[in-house]
Amino acid sequence: MKKKLLLFGLCIVFVLGLCSCGSSGSSDAEEAADTEEAIVSDIEVVANTGTYLGHDNDGVQEFLGISYADPVGKWEVPQMVSTTSEDEVVCDEWGPSCFQVDDDVEIASQWKQSHDCLDLNVWTRDVTKEKKPVIVFIHGGGGWQGGTYDPCYDGEFFIRNLAEGEDAVLVSLNYRLGIFGSLNLSALEGYDEATYADAINLATLDQELALRWVNENIASFGGDPENVTLMGQSFGAGSACTLLTIPEANQYFQHIILESGNIFNRQISLEKSEENSAKVFEILGVSSIDELMALSDDDIMAKYDQIDEELHHPHRVADGKVIPLDGYQALKDGVAKDIDVMIGTVSGEYDFEAIDWDNSISEPVTDPQPIIDYLEVMQDRAGDAIVKWSPLGHQDIIDEYLALGDDPVKRWMDLFNDSHYRQTAIFIAEALSEAGSDVYMYYWEWAPDKEAVLKAEGDVAEVSPWGRPMHCMEQILVFGCVENGYPELAGPAEGIPEELVQSTETTWYSFAKNGDPNNDLIGEWSKYDTTDRETMIIGTDCSWEQQKDPRSEDRQVLDKIRP
C-alpha span between 342 and 528 (Å, rounded):
10
- Going by the DSSP 8-state scheme, the letter that residue 346 receives in this structure is E
Catalytic residue among 172, 234, 273, 503: 234
First to last CA, the chain: 55
Closest CA to 301 of 451, 150, 113: 113
CA-CA distances (angstroms) from residue 34 to 104, 255, 477?
17, 38, 29
Does residue 234 carry a catalytic annotation? yes
C-alpha span between 434 and 561 (Å, rounded):
19
Sign of the Cα torsion 475, 480, 485, 486 reads positive
**Exposed/middle/buried for 399, CB within 10 Å: 0-12, 13-18, 19+?**
exposed
Using alpha carbons only, give the angle 317, 322, 328 rounded to the nearest 5 degrees.
70
- Assign 3-state DSSP to the chain and report helix, strand, coil percentages, each to 5: 35, 20, 45
C-alpha span between 347 and 551 (Å, rounded):
11
Q: Identify whether the C-beta of residue 137 lies closer than 8 Å to the C-beta of residue 48.
A: no
Residue 246: which residues within 8 A CB-CB, separation 6 or more? 204, 208, 322, 323, 324, 335
Catalytically active residues are: 234
